[in-house]
Structure 1
Amino acid sequence: MERNRSFKMPPLDNSQNSRRMRRLEEQKRSRAMKVESARNVDIFAGLSLNSLNDMVIDGENSHAERGKRPSKWANLAMYAEPLELNGAGGVLPQDFATAWIAVAPVPRGKRCILVAYKAWAQGSIVSMRSRAKGNQIMTLRTHLPADTILDCILDEQWETNGIIHVLDILRWKSQDYTQCEASFRFWWRDVKIAELAKANPPASSSSRPPHFSYPCNFQPVPYFSDLHDINLLQNTIIPIARSGITVNVPLAPSDMSDDNVLVHNCQSDGILFYVGESSYEPGPSLLAAWVPVVPFNDGEESPLEVFARHVQEITSANVSI
């Protein structure tokens, strides 16, 4: 009888869009429960930034004593699923124009988590952690306030431009933002990064290009929330996702140029899309989608070009998204 009943039932909808909507509802319920539980249970429960200094100093010794337990910072970053570019429902999610945010161009580089764990005279000491294992990549002094956590991308040429791209804000000055909606997080990220004091640039000359000992130029990755405007997608977001974006890096006085500015082109890795109402969650997430520049397999068309073609078809048909 059970088999007969299941045979007559319609098939389950396992499309990315349906799974995404279910996950968003689950996240909303979870967020409401956390608010109701005296606001003392969050994604970072047990991660004491005050004790991180001891973790950094003791480092591998403490891991050896404990049998190399996994780092508390492992897999803390939120990962996007590749956007489904084929199948039922078309290329774009049903609520794409009203509910999504584009982050582009996503720069090429190393994804990492920045943890500002100890205050000093002008800011904090930061531990840069790898996205997967949570291993320490380097420590650096920054103007970030202590007790701050950022999701970042270390520019692939950081030693010559000093750039670290800020993708998302998880915590700022002891305040947790993971339960805030993505639309607020990106706005707040830009506000707080703009308030930071500028780092002292290195010297350079015509015979000696600039060299940065550690990344110190914080650059928020641009975001766009008006996706109902098809011209914004076609004329701005997609072109910069193809070509990358230029960043002006200040340099100390030198004979290299009159304005003492290094113009750097940050190469693009594609576009990230976030559900505007979504919270930040560690690990793979259905509430973020990735459209890469480079094909997944040799001989395939770039997902970005498939996406661009679909947007062009929408424009030619004179329909809204």
Structure 2
Amino acid sequence: MEDLAEQLATSFSVTKSDNTTAASHPRLAQYKSKEDRSGLQEERRRSRLQNQKQKRLDFANYARRLAENDWEEEEPDDSEEMDTLEERKHKNYYANQLMLSEWLVDVPSDFEQEWLMVFCPTGKRNLVVASKGRTAAYTKSGYCIKRFHSNLPGGNRSSSRTISQYTILDCVYDEVSKTYYILDVMCWGGHPVYDCDTEFRFYWLQCKIQENTEVTKVSKLNPIKFEALPYYVCEKTNLQEVLANPMPFQTKLDGLLFYHKKTHYTLGSTPLVGWLKAWMVPEIINIPVPESIMASKPPGAKFRPPSQSMDTSSTVKIADTKREEQQDVAIMEKKEIS
């Protein structure tokens, strides 16, 4: 049933996001990119960092509503028409609540100074909400696929003595090990950190897990364990070293996530979080990786240089334009002769 819900949730997703990970990497030879976007990703990063400084949202109230599923007093957006009562009744407020990555197309100029890397295990991406004595897991599209008890603040009756005890996490679930690997934290114990930068969120998460080690162990009140994924600075020598070491989890590696240190937790796709398969690292970041990682490279996968990321349709358009120019010149010459 969980697999069916996940398939339904993903099969109807439509996105026009730049460098979306739902498609192949724009520089793969077998993938036709619509245009040469080399350099544009860097511009969008700067724009996003600037825009987030101007946003002032009530994250405390937002996190409370998400935790308690209380949207009755939600104020409508002035830019949109007010939803009818029936529409709001069936609206899925748990959809699109995760921060999603883009393909890392060009390496940021401040990559070694301002970026952090996290190994991402293979599994199902879930929004985990612990509140009112229970814990629920939702797919990216907002479908609730699991309810259980946990030792997260608010996750079981003994840990939710007050209504303010709730936790919201961004996780990857591995079915084999029955483990939620925590990628990021949005709220812990009623304290939202959406508008805190990545460096603080990651550090705070590690501290909270160390203070609440019972969440990392299987028990009657915590049947599924939680583990916070470690993070690493993106100095190339450091990345080369950690890639050569064993993974921080037993499950299979899915890929690498790169977070800008200053980005807030942003809902939806953002260029401030990059994504690469591990075998892409030598080509994109220009550092070697072990042969065991390169063995996961699909047969025939080959990258184009950024300047060649233009697709065939663009080349045809240029050829048509030149042909039209040549025809115009020929017509003008014929008129002059006559």
Fold in common (TM above 0.5): yes
103, 109, 112: which one pairs with 1:97?
Answer: 112
> Which AA in structure 2 matches 1:245?
P
From the CA coordinates, give the structure whose radius of gyration is larger.
Answer: 2
Change (3 A) 1:278 1:284: same
TM-score (norm 2): 0.60
Residue number in structure 2 paired with 1:249: none
Deviations 1:203-238 (A, max 9, x none): xxxxxxxxx99862211111012x23x3211121x3
State whether structure 2 residue 42 is matched by structure 1 residue 17.
yes
Change (3 A) 1:82 1:272: same
CA contact (8 A) 2:118 2:232 kept: yes
Which structure 2 residues correspond to residues 78-227 of structure 1 after superposition, within 5 A? Answer: 78-84=99-105, 91-104=106-119, 106-119=120-133, 125-131=134-140, 133-146=141-154, 147-157=166-176, 161-198=177-214, 201=218, 216-225=224-233, 227=234
Residue number in structure 1 paired with 2:336: none
> Which AA in structure 2 matches 1:109?
G
- CA deviation after TM superposition for structure 1 residue 66, in Å: 5.3
CA contact (8 A) 2:60 2:191 kept: no
Change (3 A) 1:73 1:47: farther
Q: Secondary structure at the match of 1:75?
A: coil
> Which AA in structure 2 matches 1:73?
Y
Residue number in structure 2 paired with 1:250: none
260, 271, 287: which one pairs with 1:311?
Answer: 287
Residue number in structure 2 paired with 1:73: 94
- CA deviation after TM superposition for structure 1 residue 305, in Å: 4.2
Deviations 1:244-302 (A, max 9, x none): 434xxxxxxxxxxxxxxxxxx22111110011011001110111000124xxxxxxxx4
Distance in 1, matches of 2:121 and 2:38, equals 34
CA contact (8 A) 1:126 1:139 kept: yes
State whether structure 2 residue 244 is matched by structure 1 residue 239.
yes
CA contact (8 A) 1:114 1:129 kept: yes
Q: Secondary structure at the match of 2:93?
A: coil
Residue number in structure 2 paired with 1:6: none
Residue number in structure 1 paired with 2:262: 277
Larger strand fraction of residues: 1
The percent identity for this pair of structures is 28
CA contact (8 A) 1:108 1:267 kept: yes
- CA deviation after TM superposition for structure 1 residue 169, in Å: 0.3
The Cα RMSD (Å) is: 3.1
Change (3 A) 1:53 1:127: farther
Residue number in structure 1 paired with 2:272: 287
Distance in 1, matches of 2:142 and 2:39, equals 32
- CA deviation after TM superposition for structure 1 residue 52, in Å: 3.2
Structure 1 stretches of 4+ with a deviation exceeding 3 A read 49-55, 65-68, 199-202, 212-215, 243-246
Q: Secondary structure at the match of 2:281?
A: helix
Which structure 2 residues correspond to residues 233-272 of structure 1 after superposition, within 5 A? Answer: 233-236=239-242, 238-239=243-244, 244-246=247-249, 265-272=250-257
TM-score (norm 1): 0.63
Deviations 1:99-146 (A, max 9, x none): 111112x00000001111113xxxxx1011111x21111111111112
Change (3 A) 1:69 1:273: same
Larger helix fraction of residues: 2
CA contact (8 A) 1:52 1:117 kept: no
Residue number in structure 2 paired with 1:29: 54
